[in-house]
Structure 1
Amino acid sequence: MKKITKLLMLLTLLAIVYSCSDDLEVKPNDPLREDSDAFYSKPDAYTRAIAGVYANLSITSTTGAGDSNLGGIDAGFSQYGRVLWYLNTLTTDEAIWSYEGGNDLGVRELQRNIWDAENPFFRGMFSRAMLQVALANEFLRQSTPSKLSSRGISDQEQTKIQEFRNESRVLRAFAYYNMMDLFGKAAFNDENQSVGVKGQQYNRQQLFDFIESELLEVIPNLKAPRTNQQGRLDQGMARMILAKIYLNAEVYIGENRYADCIEQCTQIINGGYSLEPNYLDNFKADNDTSTEIIFALQSDGILTQNYGPTTVMVNGSIGSLPSEQNGASFGVGAGGWGGAIRLRKQFVEKFNGFEFDFDARKTISGGGDRSLEITNVTNRNQGYILQKFSNVTSTGISGSNSVFVDTDFPLFRLADVYLMYAEAQMRNDGATNGSSTTNVSSTSLGYINALRERANDGNFANVTSSQVTLDFILDERTRELHWEAHRRQDLIRFDKFTGGNYNWAWKGNGLNGIALPSHFKVFPLHPLTLSSNTNLTQNTGY
């Protein structure tokens, strides 16, 4: 059983006590709705309220997995982690979804890179992220010193609430980071604006500056890494967002911030995290005990049922062939979702070579009746399958539910930090995209080989400095971090997402891949998003 934060997420009123913003269509008819003063007069109100801010990352409503508190959007299409996973994974070489019609409207366009602004996943992601901002803002409005004093909150309780305020600011910064990365813009609101005010459009530079200043200000007041209650964030999470924006700063704002990325990575590495000895334990039903995960989206098969990324990946990993109907070994139903997710050829080939024969990260299954090539996307028997995520604990016990998994989704891991450090160091020291420069430092090489040794039980897979170019780092990132929602961002940073420098099966709707236009580096805003806030403008090219 997961710890108390899971229970709080179930009990929370989520968006019920918040009017939020006119930018969002939040369902107003929940029977539990009550006004703010009535809610905050109750015992543990602020604990429940901050749990609601966290809960928005995992659940879509208080009434079940099939419902969404965002009106007009399918629950699965508006679950934070799932949409984040779709936009960053299905649009790349790492995975492809078998079902392209019916209830999966919009998937075909995403994974063939032929989307337009009408795609429902764009509305789902933007709205869910903006709801995260609205929830955080409202918590901050309701927890000012004057509000707390007027409600007779004790000094001891106020100290705890101040911790919640700091965490709320990080959760808001995370939402703005996602919008900056995916859409290149957001409607900006903070707690100083009145509820219902339509946010002004912030571009990447403005969002970057806000995220950076917020996190730098709040980090000293956050719990030290690995000292907070399980499920709550700490300095490691905040530093990870900073490291990400610094690593991608040339994409976001045209500036070299690699030295700053190195500094944040160093702080995280020295923060007490350690690699989990067994790579796959990071992706099992008890991964909330991982010493490596910096922050995860919580999942519980009973308490927080949702069609989020881990439920999708575990059920979707079960193959369609009779010999692959082994759902019990994954902790779900025998057939899972019948070959829903498969691997594109180019990802599989990243593990070619004898040095990966015993690599724990190579959980790829195929051959025989299952072909490597995918010539027909809807043929579930084509394309190899992956067995990375499961709903079984590290001790072999199945999760609490055979559909909704107990496995948390690891947003940030120490392994990612190791590879970010190495890449930032090489770029800071002069390596550029497409070059054969091998300027990896001994420290960076040590981090890379720590991952190689972990994956191979300390055996022969180590690399030498002469092998490590930036392209090697990109390939190693997908070998280590595949299906963890990093790939699109990585390909853009390496100038291999748009254009024709690197093609994969069905990129641009071509069997062998075709070049994409440069404006596809950001997604468009859905027409309903634009109509809800006239301050927002459409991205160029859409």
Structure 2
Amino acid sequence: MQKILGFTLLTAAFLILGGCTNLDQEFYDRVTPETFFKSEKDIKAALYRPFTHARWYLGEDRWNLQEYTADQFAITTKGRHWYNGGENERYHYHRWTPDDNWIWGTWRGTLMGVALALDTKQDLEKLDYTKFALTQADKDDHINQLTTLIAFFYLRGLDYFGGLPIFESLEGESLPRNTDKETFTHVETLLKEAIQKLPKKNAGDMEEGALRQAAAAALLARLYFNAEAYIGQPMFAECKKLCQDILSKQYGEYSLDPTWYGPHNFSNDRSPEIIWSIPSEFNKLQYDWFYNTFYHYNTIKYFGIDGGGWNGAHLTPSKKPTGEWYAEYKLGAPFRKFNDLDLRKKPYKYLGGGRYEGMFIYGPHLTPSGEVITGGEEYKDQPLVFVDQVGRFSEVGPGRRYASVSELPSKMSEGEENTGVRIVKVPVPNNTDKSLRWGADNPAIRLTEIQYMLAECLMREGDKGGAATLINEVRKRNFENGIDPDPVTAANLDEYRMLDEWGTEFLAEGRRRTDLIRWKKFTTESWWDHEPSDDHYKRFPVPTQAISGNNNLLQNPGY
């Protein structure tokens, strides 16, 4: 297939599918794959390009749509900051529209990922690998990794939007959307094909970003796990079988990490739990998109580093302004869901040499040497103390807006600079170990997910004891000497406890909306400052910008 400068192939594909973007990719006037690829390095550069897109895709807008629309995270307005034209409130209250940017970025990014992977796949299929001192096995591996990556993007798009335009070449115009079932079947077919052909991971292999057999199997398990939401057909039995096979090592050598931080730390490419991750390295392809959004301007002093944040996102509150728990809600309040003895619940502290403890920022903000860190807005020159609450506490007192804390409203518009617990899921070293910064890879698929999917499948079959055993095998690593003060049991395991277990283990890993939808809670339940919404909000709309570029695209119902 020729790459012709201008309105062709990738450029045309994005216009056909609803918009164009800068691909950061060079195009040549009539260059065929056979003449463009000169060495193994050229082949790998082409192969890596769609994977760098996947690295970007796993964060930012896609993460936002999964987490800020659900019950565990919010970006409250903090005085003069973060109202953003009401954008953050629209997502929290389920009032988004086809004109919202996160939705457009996700639609475009999904189909761009498909197109990039498909373009590379078609180019590599035409090459004689022996001319580059490579084998047919190398070629098969590259082709099947790209097949799996195409399925990954379609699976995510199905989750966000429902049916998508299915294209198997970059030729064609104004493609309509395929049905939900057709998109589901396309993903299923691609993954079944890849599973048969991808290599397995061997014991001791490092995880360096390649998609192997277990990754394709895990994605297929995800597809079946959420099939009822996608196509109205429960397929938990199919998911169960895949999870059992993965855990029995039929798709490669994986095991649970013995520590809670192993899958997330600076050397997590060596964790036996990682099935697929996106590599990250300081001053290269950094896994750092969340940094500015989560952390306060002065948190640089807490971390002992350079470069401040924007002080936006935080966990939804567990407590009312009065200090009472939000006992009326079964969802949300994520910080409270962690047992006080949970090792993860400690304040994050870097211990040096790549070691650290805890994964939250809350309470008094102090430097590593114990000095008080002060605020710069409501608490300018006053000690900065992060609270698990939302309210304008700085406006309480004689002559101020509120006479007492009991009068404070707690809602999206009422944040302050110290509002909300902050999460440090990705460790941040101090400047002494600056070379380690962003050394933690992004764990896209972990074996724990397989174990929890199997647990939920067993639970749905009525085997709550078997489900509890699987969950507790993971939970014990979160406590000193493996002693769990609140294990899951057949008696206490219900749909809300299952969601709590998903919520604590995978907090901030960009999946919460999907879990709530699977349990039919996303549009039907209340949590902090959120009331039930209309059922059509389980899917996002086709963006206005996409439809304006392709009038064959039909809008989702309700928009």
Q: Is this a same-fold pair by TM over 0.5?
A: yes
Q: Does 1:23 align with 2:17?
A: yes
Distance 2:267 2:229 in 1: 36
Contact 2:158 2:183 in 1 (8 A): yes
- 1:173 alignment partner AA: A
Contact 1:371 1:381 in 2 (8 A): no
C-alpha displacement of 1:276 = 2.2
Aligned positions of 1:78-477 closer than 5 A: 79-98=57-76, 106-144=87-125, 147-149=126-128, 153=131, 156-190=134-168, 193-225=169-201, 227=205, 230-271=208-249, 272-305=253-286, 310-319=287-296, 325-327=298-300, 330=303, 332-333=305-306, 335-345=308-318, 349-350=333-334, 352=336, 356-362=339-345, 363-366=359-362, 369-374=385-390, 375-377=410-412, 379-381=415-417, 383-392=419-428, 397-399=433-435, 405-427=438-460, 429-430=461-462, 439-442=463-466, 444-457=467-480, 458-461=482-485, 462-477=487-502
Between 104-113 and 23-32, the greater mean CA deviation after superposition:
23-32
Deviations 1:31-54 (A, max 9, x none): 843334442245432221111111
In structure 1, stretches of 5+ residues that fail to align are: 1-15, 60-78, 431-438, 507-512
Deviations 1:230-252 (A, max 9, x none): 11111121111111111111111
**DSSP 3-state at the match of 2:114:** helix
Distance 2:412 2:332 in 1: 16
Q: Does 1:498 align with 2:529?
A: no
- 1:33 alignment partner AA: F
| TM-score normalised by the chain length of structure 1 | 0.79
Distance 2:82 2:245 in 1: 46
Deviations 1:163-200 (A, max 9, x none): 1100000000000001100001211101xx34354433
**DSSP 3-state at the match of 2:452:** helix
Contact 2:144 2:198 in 1 (8 A): yes
C-alpha displacement of 1:445 = 2.2
C-alpha displacement of 1:459 = 0.8
Between 88-97 and 274-283, the greater mean CA deviation after superposition:
274-283
- How many positions carry a matched residue from both structures? 474
C-alpha displacement of 1:258 = 1.0
Counterpart position of 2:544: 527
C-alpha displacement of 1:140 = 2.3
- 1:357 alignment partner AA: D
Distance 2:427 2:491 in 1: 40
C-alpha displacement of 1:338 = 3.0
C-alpha displacement of 1:283 = 2.6
CA distance 1:419–1:94, shift in 2 (3 Å): same
Counterpart position of 1:67: none
Higher Rg: 2
In structure 2, stretches of 5+ residues that fail to align are: 1-7, 319-328, 346-358, 365-384, 391-409
Deviations 1:41-89 (A, max 9, x none): 4543222111111111125xxxxxxxxxxxxxxxxxxx54222210100
Identity %, equivalent residues: 26
Aligned positions of 1:37-116 closer than 5 A: 37=33, 38-59=35-56, 79-98=57-76, 106-116=87-97
C-alpha displacement of 1:220 = 1.8
- 1:489 alignment partner AA: T
Deviations 1:125-181 (A, max 9, x none): 11111011111211222123xx224x9736844431221100000000000001100
Contact 2:119 2:170 in 1 (8 A): no
Distance 1:342 1:217 in 2: 40
CA distance 1:294–1:28, shift in 2 (3 Å): closer
CA distance 1:370–1:236, shift in 2 (3 Å): same
Distance 2:262 2:207 in 1: 21
Between 216-225 and 367-376, the greater mean CA deviation after superposition:
367-376
Distance 1:20 1:486 in 2: 32
Between 98-107 and 82-91, the greater mean CA deviation after superposition:
98-107
Contact 2:195 2:216 in 1 (8 A): yes
Counterpart position of 2:400: none
Contact 1:281 1:287 in 2 (8 A): yes
CA distance 1:31–1:57, shift in 2 (3 Å): closer
CA distance 1:219–1:503, shift in 2 (3 Å): same
Between 95-104 and 226-235, the greater mean CA deviation after superposition:
95-104
Counterpart position of 1:66: none
C-alpha displacement of 1:540 = 0.3
| TM-score normalised by the chain length of structure 2 | 0.77
Between 200-209 and 219-228, the greater mean CA deviation after superposition:
219-228
**DSSP 3-state at the match of 2:343:** coil
